[in-house]
A = this chain, B = another copy of it.
Amino acid sequence: MAIVVQKYGGSSVADVDKIRNVARRIIQTREKDNQVVVVVSAMGDTTDDLIDLAHRITDQPDPRELDVLLSTGEIVSSTLMAMALKQMGHPAVSLSGAQAGIHTDASFSRARILKIEARRIFKELEKGNTVIVAGFQGITDGMDVTTLGRGGSDTTAVALAVSLGAGVCERFTDVDGVYTADPRLVPEARKLPEIGYEEMLELATYGSKVLHHRAVELAGVYNMPILVASSFTDSPGTLIHGGASMEVRNKVRGIAHDLDVAKITVIGVPDKPGVAAGIFEPLAKAGVSVDTIVQNAGTGNLADLTFTVAKGDLKKAMDVIKPIVQSAGAKDTVSDAKLGKVSIVGTGMQNAPGYAARMFSALSKENINIQLITTSEIRITVIIDEARVKDAVRALHRAFELEKA
């Protein structure tokens, strides 16, 4: 009997009817002679509600206590799912992260999984139970509850699939697969039947938000296939796996975009060692996540340093760096909060410079001004005016003929 790990997101278990719907899908998988381990997220907005509750007690909830509090959300949904399965005559048992043997480090709110001791899960599977694991959580060696941070339930599912030797990790949500671009922006966007880990990573990190990048990274390291599909339909999803990249090299696979981009430019940075560190270390300490960083080759001994942050972090970032760059001798610091990011993603682009040219030409024809350009092995990203992101995504989708299989 093969082991299948399935993960259902918060929108798939948001209410009692949806939990029953998922229970029926689990039973279908079970009846195909599989042993099934299911990872569930908290119901709907539960996690946000619990965070609000903690913040009504204190501005800065203790991280250890907050993790215990948040872990209850997934425990609730896991017990309800097990009840629903049993009510349908199907043996099932819920396990918390601790009971499932998910051991993490002690970094509360962003713990990393160290190992999974799967004895209890195997014991329950042998008894004929479908095992429902509360996602997003683990336990330290000191028996303290931790949470894995946002996207943690996806990571739980992939880690369990690897540890249990599952054939596939199936990840169900309200999105039915990975598209060549966001279908809300590009009506002709096409669902990809398969995609490679690295491509998926670039798409997920750069705004597709179908699957958390930590889960994709982990799956890539262990070569665990992930099927992304909808819990509301039976349409085939997208298989994220290691084989895909080889077969489809030298193709743009999709267009990713992100509307949550603010840009900060420090003008006239003295071109000497330690200046960049002097800017980015205080930002990290202040909890500001910096995304793209670009430093233009300076004329003489001065350079312009540009980086992007989430819009919500812009004010904090400016407050942190203004005094620093002033004392470092920079000329000025300017910011722009109305930006967006558009990327083309596909393996092998680095070896085919034609892709960059086609991208810039397509944007130029739409009269879209490019503010920043960055590239990776499998991605070319431009930062542009927020108001033109939709036009850019559509133009690039057409230019690379992504509507065609």
Cβ-defined contact, B87 with A58, below 8 A: yes
Residues of B within 8 A of A94 (CB): 65, 68
Cβ-defined contact, B79 with A69, below 8 A: yes
In A73-120, which residues have CB < 8 Å from any B CB? 75-76, 78-80, 82-84, 86-87, 93-94, 96, 98-99, 120
* A327 interface residue per 8 A CB criterion: no
Cβ-defined contact, B87 with A60, below 8 A: yes
Residues of B within 8 A of A11 (CB): none
The segment from A49-57, A205-213, A293-301, A396-404 found at the interface with B is: A49-57
Cβ-defined contact, A57 with B20, below 8 A: yes
Cβ-defined contact, A54 with B69, below 8 A: no
Cβ-defined contact, B65 with A79, below 8 A: yes
Residues of B within 8 A of A66 (CB): 79, 83
Residues of B within 8 A of A31 (CB): none
Cβ-defined contact, A58 with B83, below 8 A: yes
Alpha-carbon distance between A311 and B173 when the two chains are bound, in angstroms: 47
Cβ-defined contact, A80 with B84, below 8 A: no
* A143 interface residue per 8 A CB criterion: yes
Number of interface residues of A (CB under 8 A): 39
For the complex formed by this chain, how many copies does it contain in all?
2
Alpha-carbon distance between A78 and B72 when the two chains are bound, in angstroms: 12
Q: Give chain B nearest CB distance to A77 CB in angstroms.
A: 10
Cβ-defined contact, A72 with B76, below 8 A: yes
Residues of B within 8 A of A58 (CB): 83-84, 86-87
Residues of B within 8 A of A99 (CB): 143-144
* A19 interface residue per 8 A CB criterion: yes
Q: Which residue of B lies closest to A69 (CB)?
A: B79
* A141 interface residue per 8 A CB criterion: no
Interchain Cβ contacts under 8 Å between A and B, 29 examples? A16-B53, A16-B56, A16-B57, A19-B57, A50-B76, A53-B76, A54-B79, A54-B83, A57-B87, A58-B86, A61-B83, A62-B82, A62-B83, A62-B86, A65-B79, A65-B83, A65-B86, A66-B79, A66-B83, A68-B94, A68-B96, A69-B75, A69-B76, A69-B80, A69-B83, A71-B75, A72-B76, A99-B143, A120-B143
